[in-house]
């Protein structure tokens, strides 16, 4: 291994300084795999897979619950790539996200039916508990078409909903035309990792684990082949949605707003974020969201702020999306503009400015709730 000037710092000394630049001496990563953490990650992945296989919606209906305010799957390729100095995804074939939500509690489904059936202006409450074994991948146009490196993002969510019609009505025909208000509170615990156990960075002073740590990291410092990225987080959010449905209970228009706060605590449990990543990633994250559905069109906007991110990263991000519903089967076509810190594990020190064209799952556009009211025992 190449020598590095200076003594080996301890865990508490490996902090990123906001000014100055490190020696930039390239070192060879000699950290041994942490077997205990690796086994814990394998066990966690196996548990998530098992629960995903046995998890079933508990609403008593044949069709899946509507995932209000939650992610859906997509696949896209970028049209324009930014001109940064690092091009790890210049040969990107596609990016895809798989997000299936398994419901282990769902009283919200019955709440929606009650709101539709009762001609009263009353807040109905319900809740859901879900497991989402989400995976995001980028396949590169390189020999063997590698996926380097996939994001594993299992998460457990608790949702509390309050739903009501805007006014009373004496007739069903008038009542169906009345808009619906939905308030929601969300608390989630999640994990995000890439399944690797190599050193995260390729140059800098060595820490006590034998891994180089740069003083002021940027995209050139990241080990993109097998570098370790892992974090646990807690997230909470408040959401509001204004919905209109027709006589067949199909959504004709909907406008939703939300605010989320996410925190990644340093070394919180197995797979928690390391001190060196904690200083560069931006552990406290704020997001503002808007979604507008009108007829066959959807507009979505999201603003994000990563507090505590490295100086080389854009702390603010903006995402704007326009989608056309049900173009191919259960998929809608979308165009999405994104500017900000890359959200893909080891690319967290890269700034992105690109346009994405692709297909997204249509389940976010499903009917407001199934019209078979009598099958769930309404009064």
**Cα(328)–Cα(334) distance, integer angstroms:** 12
**What is the pLDDT, as a whole number, of residue 365?**
40
Which CATH class name applies to 31-376?
mainly beta
Retrieve residue 364's tokens.
Answer: 């976010």
- Sequence ranges of the domains in the chain: 31-376
The whole-number pLDDT of residue 112 equals 74
Q: Are 138 and 171 in contact (CB under 8 A)?
A: no
CA–CA separation, 264 and 275 (whole Å): 11
Provide the token pair at 238.
């408040």
Burial class of 156 by CB neighbour count within 10 A (0 to 12, 13 to 18, 19+):
middle
Give pLDDT, residue 33.
43
pTM, two decimal places: 0.76
Q: Could you read off the pLDDT tens digit of each residue along the chain, which spans 379 residues?
A: 443 333 434 443 444 443 333 333 444 444 444 444 444 554 454 444 444 444 444 433 444 555 678 888 888 877 654 444 344 455 778 889 998 889 888 888 777 777 777 667 788 899 999 999 999 998 877 777 778 789 999 999 999 999 888 766 655 555 556 788 899 999 999 999 998 888 988 888 888 888 888 888 887 888 888 889 999 999 999 999 998 877 666 778 889 999 999 999 998 988 899 888 888 899 999 999 999 988 888 899 999 999 999 888 999 999 999 998 766 777 889 999 999 999 999 888 889 888 889 998 865 444 444 434 333 333 3
DSSP per-residue letters across 223-245: -TTTB--EEEEEEEEEEEEEEEE
* pLDDT (0 to 100) of residue 372: 40
What whole-number distance in Å separates Cα of residue 215 and Cα of residue 81? 28
């Amino acid at each position: 291994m190449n020598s590095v000037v200076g003594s080996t710092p301890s865990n508490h000394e490996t902090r990123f300084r906001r000014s100055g630049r490190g020696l930039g001496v390239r070192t060879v990563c000699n950290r041994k795999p942490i077997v205990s953490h690796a086994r814990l990650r394998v066990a966690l992945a196996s548990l998530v897979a098992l629960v995903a296989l046995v998890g079933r919606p508990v609403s008593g209906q044949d069709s899946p619950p509507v995932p209000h305010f939650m992610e859906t799957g997509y696949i896209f390729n970028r049209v324009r790539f930014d001109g940064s100095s690092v091009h790890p995804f210049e040969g990107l074939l596609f990016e895809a996200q798989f997000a299936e939500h398994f419901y282990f509690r769902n009283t919200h489904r019955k709440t929606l039916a009650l709101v539709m059936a009762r001609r009263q202006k009353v807040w109905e409450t319900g809740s859901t508990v879900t497991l989402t074994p989400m995976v995001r991948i980028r396949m590169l146009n390189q020999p063997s078409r590698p996926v380097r490196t996939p994001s594993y993002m299992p998460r457990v969510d608790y949702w509390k909903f309050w739903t009501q019609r805007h006014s009373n009505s004496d007739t069903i025909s008038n009542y169906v035309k009345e808009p619906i208000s939905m308030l929601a509170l969300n608390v989630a615990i999640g994990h995000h990792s890439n399944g690797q156990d190599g050193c995260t960075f390729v140059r800098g002073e060595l820490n006590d684990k034998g891994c180089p740590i740069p003083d002021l990291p940027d995209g050139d410092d990241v080990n993109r082949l097998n570098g370790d990225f892992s974090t646990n987080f807690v997230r909470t959010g408040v959401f509001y949605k204004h919905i209109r449905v027709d006589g067949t209970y199909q959504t004709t228009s909907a406008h939703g707003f939300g605010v989320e706060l996410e925190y990644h605590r340093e070394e919180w449990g197995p797979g928690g974020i390391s001190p060196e990543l904690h200083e560069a990633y931006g552990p406290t994250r704020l997001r503002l969201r808007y979604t507008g559905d009108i007829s066959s069109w959807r507009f979505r906007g999201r603003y994000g702020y990563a507090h505590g991110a490295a100086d080389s990263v854009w702390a603010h991000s903006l995402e704007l999306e326009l989608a056309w519903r049900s173009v191919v089967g259960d998929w809608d076509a979308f165009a999405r503009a994104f500017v900000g810190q890359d959200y893909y594990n080891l690319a967290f020190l890269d700034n992105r400015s690109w346009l994405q064209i692709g297909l997204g799952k249509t389940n976010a556009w499903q009917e407001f709730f199934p019209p078979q009211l009598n099958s769930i025992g309404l009064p």
